Amino acid sequence: MSSAVLGIAGFRSPRAGFVANRLIADDLPSEHINPEGFAVAAQTIQAWPAYTPSPLHRLSGQARRLGLREVFYKDESARFGLGSFKALGGAYAVYTLLREELQLSDGSLLWTDQETRKSAKAITVCCATDGNHGRSVAWGAELFGASCVIFVHETVSQSRCEAIAAFGAKVSRVKGNYDDSVREAQRQAEANRWYVVSDTSYEGYTDIPCKVMHGYGLMAQEICDQLPEAPSHVIVQAGVGALAASL
């Protein structure tokens, strides 16, 4: 996955003078997606245990085959050991939720202080997923001490379920499609006083998805630091939109 253009202005990178974001900046919903949110997320994640920037590979052979000067590939496969391109967003949203609910002035207590982790364990986060977002939420819950339930629809592979469960989450399979699993996650959260950590926004639910997007923004900051100059094109998969919107 290659990404770098939208959202770069929020990081004040010395290489960020080429920001395409300036074309739409006046129309951005700043109460949701804003430079301050991206900056805080980046600083926070960079302080997590085992953080390291993911590599930006130069694909010289591919560039020659396509008749292009340069092609770069942002490789998220090893980020925090998740094997997922969505490692950042869900985990960051879990972190912000727990820090807010536990009223922590120091977020590092979530992984350094056992009493804080005991308090976090009483909080259950949940979400619906096709695989990648749920893996990030489950990993974040494990890292920060929370309980976690992940809802998957009936066509999600067993291997994806096992990858999520490996981080200590309970995986619950739902009949139907992804939308059915989203509704079931919301229903169970309301019934059990759990917290939904979704990358999908809907009426009355926007704050957490915005935190997810702010977490993804760290990819853009890293790419700004890794690229020698401005890219002419950025290609990123859309999915439900959170990753594409943040980048």
Query: What is the C-alpha to C-alpha distance for residues 231 and 19, in angstroms, rounded to an integer?
Result: 10
Bridge-based pairing of strands 170-174 and 147-153 is parallel
Q: Which of 74, 86, 199, 211 is catalytic?
A: 86
CA distance 202 to 220: 25
- Please give the Cα distance from 225 to 16 (Å, whole number): 9
What are φ and ψ of residue 4, in 5° steps? -175, -15
Closest C-alpha to 32, from 204, 199, 214, 195: 214
Annotated active-site residue 130? The verdict is yes
Task: List the catalytic residue out of 75, 113, 118, 130.
Answer: 130
Helix (H) or strand (E) holding 240: none
Which residue numbers are catalytic? 86, 130
